[in-house]
Structures are given as structure tokens and as C-alpha cells.
Amino acid sequence: SMEKIVAKNETYKVELNFSHDVSTAIILSGLGYMSKVNPPLASTLFMELHSEKGGYYVKAIYNDKPITYGLCTEIMCKYETFKENAKQRTFPGTVEEVCFGKQMFVSR
């Protein structure tokens, strides 16, 4: 993960994941990238982690074009801004806590 690389615990050069168009649309939406059309067949989304200028930056490339999204208003988004963007756009806690937590049930 990017977090492990930044913490100097991993040295991955590449990590590949594959998904369907709907999953790609959900990831893009989760980042804050809005599009009026679903991802076309054989779409690609690359998230690159760069070490530059004494810091880390994330670059998102969607179908061969660098994109900006959410709080990441520059192509090379500071890693801390990328993390804050993700934090603001996700639920706190685990899926079980969010979906099945005590606040979801009413005692009778």
C-alpha cells in the first residue's frame, strides 16, 4: 500500500488490481472525480506514488489522461492531501461498525 511505502516498510514498484466498469466508476466517485458517463470498456485507472522535492505525491491517470479530483486540484497531489481527500469521502470505522453498529438498532 502507499502508506507502507511512505513509511519505508515496503518497496513495491507496481501493484495491479483489476475491476469492472462499475467498480471503476465507484472508485472515481469515491475520489471525487465526477463524470456524466460510465467508464467505457477497457478503461484504466492508475494511481502513481512519486517521491519528489522531499515529499510524496499521488498522480491519478484515467484512460491515459492525468486527472484532478476532490481536494486534489493539482495533477501531482501531495500525499497528505490525497489522504485527507480519502478520509473526507469515506465512512469512519469498519464496514461492520458502519452497517451493523449499535446506532443502527433500536432496543424494544
Helical H runs in the chain? Answer: 2-6, 21-31, 79-88, 95-100
Bridge partners of 61?
46, 66
- pLDDT bucket at 106, cuts 50 / 70 / 90: very low
At 50-103, the pLDDT tens digits run 998 889 999 999 999 999 999 999 999 999 999 999 888 877 777 777 677 655
* pLDDT over 50 at 28, yes or no: yes
What SS3 state is found at 18? Answer: coil
At 41-51, the pLDDT tens digits run 889 999 999 99
Q: What is the pTM of this model?
A: 0.78
